[in-house]
Amino acid sequence: QARSHRFFPQFPIQGFLSIQIIQHRSIPMSLPSHVRLVEVGPRDGLQNEAQPISVADKVRLVDALTAAGVSYIEVGSFVSPKWVPQMAGSAEVFAQIQRKPGVTYAALAPNLRGFEDAVAAGVKEVAVFAAASEAFSQRNINCSISESLARFVPIMEAAKQHGVSVRGYVSCVLGCPYEGNVAPEQVALVARELYAMGCYEVSLGDTIGTGTAGATRKLIEVVAADVPREKLAGHFHDTYGQAMANIYASLLEGVSVFDSSIAGLGGCPYAKGASGNVATEDVVYLLNGLGIDSGIDLEALIVAGQHISTVLGRASGSRVARARSAQ
Ligand code: HMG
Ligand code: MG
């Protein structure tokens, strides 16, 4: 028997069809015409490398990314060198890169000390990082979630004084290496705090890459009740090969900023077994295929990825780059 649909009462529809529409009521977002990619390879990518990588090689990588048209590059971290030795030379890297106007060169800062070191190195944008899981927060930054949020308050105040923008991360949004499942509501709580304290954007980190497209859509729906979708970014590690699907799911949910890593570099030193972020080359290939502009030249990006892969002495983690080199 025909009846009116709950959301579209002007359309009388049959029972089966109405159930389909109700289940997929979050779909109608159209895809964006432009996506901003946040290149995290020099930071999230290289932070996990045990072998020494020279400042010159890091600078060459950042400059190659700039030349490829990347508009946002996370260059390094101002964290304790005892915790993440590979990021110890970040100030030198910042001193030597060729900055192009309009490009953001950002750094991680876990506390006021890190923020001050970043500003002294000429950094104009920092990222603070919290977690949705207590155990990960303790392992990664040696404090509870609420202690970390309290630590960020003076950073926000100092950032305002220095005209520095602050981006926020939430880790373990789709699973924790120590606690397992993480409720989307818990992620929303942390994301809301970061947004409320002045982070202009909150990047949702699937640190261990266990998330699926369905879980990603659910996560964004829940978090978007507290932080607008246009203020959210997706940060997908590709450990389970789900990152591309999760990006597409996020696009359908109205998210248009994604973090990615050249050549798929990386992992987090405090998330054992976590692999690199989704490869930037692969995301640009996906976006090109969807007719979505990212401002990035795929060919130049592939060259940048091949160069750093040679420095590291291994094959690129980008499927696109590997396919191209096999041709
Ligand atoms: P702590 O040991 O609790 O800190 O570490 P503390 O305040 O007791 O200080 C201990 C020592 O560190 C002291 O030196 C401080 O001076 C020094 P000592 O007296 O022993 O010689 N120190 C610093 N040195 C340099 N820069 C600083 C700094 N702060 C203190 N900023 C701390 C706490 C937060 C410092 C430490 O846990 C840390 O550095 N953690 C960083 C961990 C990290 O970088 N993880 C990777 C990035 S997060 C990530 O990858 C996830 C993400 O990609 C999203 C996702 O995928 O989910 C963002
Ligand atoms: Mg990460």
Distance 110 CA to ligand 1 centre (A): 6
- Across the chain, mean pLDDT equals 91
Report the atom number in ligand 1 closest to the C-alpha of 274: 56
Report the atom number in ligand 1 closest to the C-alpha of 140: 42
Question: Given a cut of 80, is residue 26 above it in pLDDT?
Answer: no
Question: Given a cut of 90, is residue 108 above it in pLDDT?
Answer: yes
Least distant ligand from the CA of 85: 1
Of 151, 144, 101, 98, the closest CA to residue 126 belongs to 151
Q: Is 240 in the pocket of ligand 1 (CB under 6 A)?
A: no
Collapsed DSSP state (helix, strand, coil) of residue 204: strand
Question: Given a cut of 60, is residue 179 above it in pLDDT?
Answer: yes
Sole residue written with tokens 């990664």? 140
| Cβ–Cβ under 8 Å, residues 247 and 234 | yes
Q: Is 110 in the pocket of ligand 1 (CB under 6 A)?
A: yes
Q: Is 138 in the pocket of ligand 1 (CB under 6 A)?
A: no
SS3 track for 167-192 = EEEEECCCCECCCECCCHHHHHHHHH
pLDDT in the model for residue 63: 98
Size of the chain in residues: 327
Q: For 107, which DSSP code?
A: E
| Cβ–Cβ under 8 Å, residues 70 and 103 | yes
Q: Is 78 in the pocket of ligand 1 (CB under 6 A)?
A: yes
- pTM, 2 dp: 0.92
Q: Is the CA virtual torsion 160, 166, 171, 174 positive or negative? A: positive
CA angle 275, 170, 75 (to 5 degrees): 65
| Cβ–Cβ under 8 Å, residues 69 and 303 | no
Return the number of other C-beta atoms located less than 10 Å from residue 257's C-beta: 21
Rounded to an integer, the average pLDDT of 143-150 is 98
The more confidently predicted of residues 26 and 172 is: 172
pLDDT in the model for residue 118: 98
Distance 140 CA to ligand 1 centre (A): 8
Out of 172, 176, 199, 268, the active site residue is 268
The conformational region for residue 106 under phi > 0 = left, psi -120 to 50 = alpha, else beta, is beta
SS3 track for 38-74 = EECHHHHHHHHCCCCCCHHHHHHHHHHHHHCCCCEEE
Element (H, E) at 12: strand 12-13
Both tokens assigned to 227 = 């932080």
pLDDT in the model for residue 326: 87
| Max CA distance (Å), the chain | 72
Question: Given a cut of 80, is residue 130 above it in pLDDT?
Answer: yes
The more confidently predicted of residues 325 and 16 is: 325
Q: Is 84 in the pocket of ligand 1 (CB under 6 A)?
A: yes
| Cβ–Cβ under 8 Å, residues 117 and 91 | yes
Question: Given a cut of 60, is residue 59 above it in pLDDT?
Answer: yes
Element (H, E) at 18: helix 15-23
Task: Please confirm, yes or no, whether 268 is among the known catalytic residues.
Answer: yes
Rounded to an integer, the average pLDDT of 34-54 is 96
CA separation for the pair 127, 279 (Å, rounded): 21
Following DSSP, what letter does each residue of 221-240 receive, concatenated? HHHTTTS-GGGEEEEEB-TT
Question: Given a cut of 50, is residue 273 above it in pLDDT?
Answer: yes
